[in-house]
């Protein structure tokens, strides 16, 4: 893919003196970023399906060059890079929801009500990913992809530590093109307390629930190709919903016990918010962040999303799966897509 801006043939005569040159538009590098959110991954899956059902956008997914996703968004990114359609994405979540997010009283007994041991067995997810991706590697996918994870142990050495690890299939030194897609999908979903760690990796949610800035930085990495000019990058970021929370009081003289629960959500929401800010500052009108709004699109999509989330009625009924509030707008998203 060439990103060079060229003068159109015949656009300039006599050395262009006193005449405006017609500049051919630069090829765009389209990026799709998808947040983490567990079973709420059904939200961006449904949104993507509605986009491709909109007049003029049936080839929308084909136009995407690069997909980044954290946690459940990582699964979507890998699936899209493997040419899965938007409709198949929704079906995947319905199927995986029944198999993966199934928790029995026996599991609760063995892990003492989640006090010890992860909430879910990772075995069903492992089998499902192997079935869908087989032995395919990142370098064999049809799109560029990036999946944030966290390495709990960098291995023996002078500077042994834990550190972020972003799996990607861009060409160049240090690329992960040989990594198994199914393995990376497992790493992406290994959210602490929900699933056990896998090969020493956990979910990248702990630092990049919104991977948009990670994706933008990857496009500008001088060590890897392709590296489009920043002005060629167009980025659409899809959220899975916001926790509309706040803490009353100007002064909170709290200790560990009071801060531990709100601090987790505060960190997740804070990192997502700062990624949104950074991308907006760097890309301007070439960046759009989408949440559902309480308008017509909300009324159309929210019942459909709940219908799919209700795949595990017992857990939904007792409130353990909760859909958050959404902000943002559908019309703005369609306008953004048409203009970019």
Beta bridge partners of 180: 137
What is the largest distance, in Å, between two alpha-carbon atoms of the chain?
Answer: 84
- Cβ contact 242:40 at 8 Å: no
Q: Which residues contact 161 (CB under 8 A, 6 or more apart)?
A: 154
Beta bridge partners of 23: 7
pLDDT at 12 over 80: no
Least confident of 51-60, 117-126, 305-314: 305-314
pLDDT value of residue 21: 47
pLDDT at 272 over 90: no
Tell me the average pLDDT across 280-297: 78
In this prediction, residue 13 has a pLDDT band, given cuts at 50, 70 and 90, of very low
Residue at token pair 């499902």: 128
Going 292 to 295 to 300 to 306, the CA torsion angle's sign is: positive
What is the full DSSP assignment across 80-110? HHTT--HHHHHHHHHHHHHHHS---HHHHHH
- Cβ contact 80:89 at 8 Å: yes
Domain extents in the chain: 14-245+290-339
**Spatial distance between the Cα atoms of 56 and 50, rounded to a whole number of angstroms:** 12
pLDDT value of residue 141: 98
pLDDT value of residue 326: 39
Stretch (H or E) spanning 150: strand 144-151
Q: Which of 32, 20, 80 is nearest to 340 (CA)?
A: 32
Residue at token pair 């994870």: 149
Q: What is the DSSP letter of 143?
A: S
Q: What class is the 14-245+290-339 domain?
A: alpha beta
**Spatial distance between the Cα atoms of 132 and 125, rounded to a whole number of angstroms:** 11
Going 279 to 280 to 281 to 286, the CA torsion angle's sign is: positive
The model carries a pTM of: 0.81
pLDDT value of residue 193: 82
Least confident of 37-46, 108-117, 266-275: 108-117
Report the interhelical angle of 296-309 vs 86-100 (nearest 10°): 40
**Spatial distance between the Cα atoms of 2 and 51, rounded to a whole number of angstroms:** 27
**Spatial distance between the Cα atoms of 93 and 72, rounded to a whole number of angstroms:** 10
**Spatial distance between the Cα atoms of 101 and 32, rounded to a whole number of angstroms:** 26
In this prediction, residue 105 has a pLDDT band, given cuts at 50, 70 and 90, of very low
- Cβ contact 96:128 at 8 Å: yes
Q: What percentage of the chain carries pLDDT values higher than 70?
A: 72
pLDDT at 188 over 90: yes
Q: In terms of C-beta density within 10 A (0-12 exposed, 13-18 middle, 19 or more buried), how is residue 14 classed?
A: exposed
pLDDT at 178 over 60: yes
Question: What does the mean pLDDT of the chain come to?
Answer: 80
């Amino acid at each position: 893919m060439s990103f060079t801006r060229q003068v159109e043939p015949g656009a300039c005569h006599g050395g262009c003196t006193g005449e405006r040159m017609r500049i051919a538009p630069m090829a765009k590098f389209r990026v799709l970023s998808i947040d983490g959110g567990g079973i709420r991954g059904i939200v961006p899956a449904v949104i993507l399906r509605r986009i491709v059902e909109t007049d003029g956008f049936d080839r929308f997914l084909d136009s995407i060059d690069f997909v980044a996703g954290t946690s459940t968004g990582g699964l979507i990114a890998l699936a899209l890079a493997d040419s899965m359609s938007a409709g198949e994405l929704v079906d995947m979540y319905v199927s995986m929801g029944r198999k993966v997010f199934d928790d029995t009283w026996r599991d609760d007994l063995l892990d003492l009500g989640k006090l010890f041991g992860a909430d879910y067995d990772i075995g069903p997810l492992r089998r499902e990913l192997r079935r869908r991706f087989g032995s395919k590697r990142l370098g064999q996918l049809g799109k560029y992809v990036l999946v944030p994870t966290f390495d709990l142990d960098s291995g023996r050495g002078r500077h042994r530590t834990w550190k972020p690890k972003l799996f990607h299939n861009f060409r160049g030194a240090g690329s992960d093109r040989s990594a198994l897609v199914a393995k990376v999908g497992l790493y992406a979903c290994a959210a602490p307390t929900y699933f056990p760690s896998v090969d020493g990796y956990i979910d990248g949610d702990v630092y990049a629930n919104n991977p948009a800035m990670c994706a933008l930085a990857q496009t500008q990495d001088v060590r890897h190709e392709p590296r489009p000019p920043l002005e060629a990058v167009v980025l659409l970021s899809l959220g899975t919903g916001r926790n509309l929370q706040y803490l009353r009081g100007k002064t909170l003289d709290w200790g560990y016990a009071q801060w531990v629960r709100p601090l987790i959500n505060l960190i997740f929401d804070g990192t997502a918010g700062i990624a949104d800010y950074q991308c907006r500052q760097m890309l301007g009108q070439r960046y759009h962040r989408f949440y559902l709004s309480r308008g017509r699109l909300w009324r159309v999509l929210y019942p459909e999303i709940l219908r799919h989330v209700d795949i595990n009625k017992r857990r939904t009924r007792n409130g353990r799966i909760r859909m958050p509030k959404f902000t943002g707008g559908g019309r703005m998203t369609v306008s953004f897509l048409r203009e970019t």
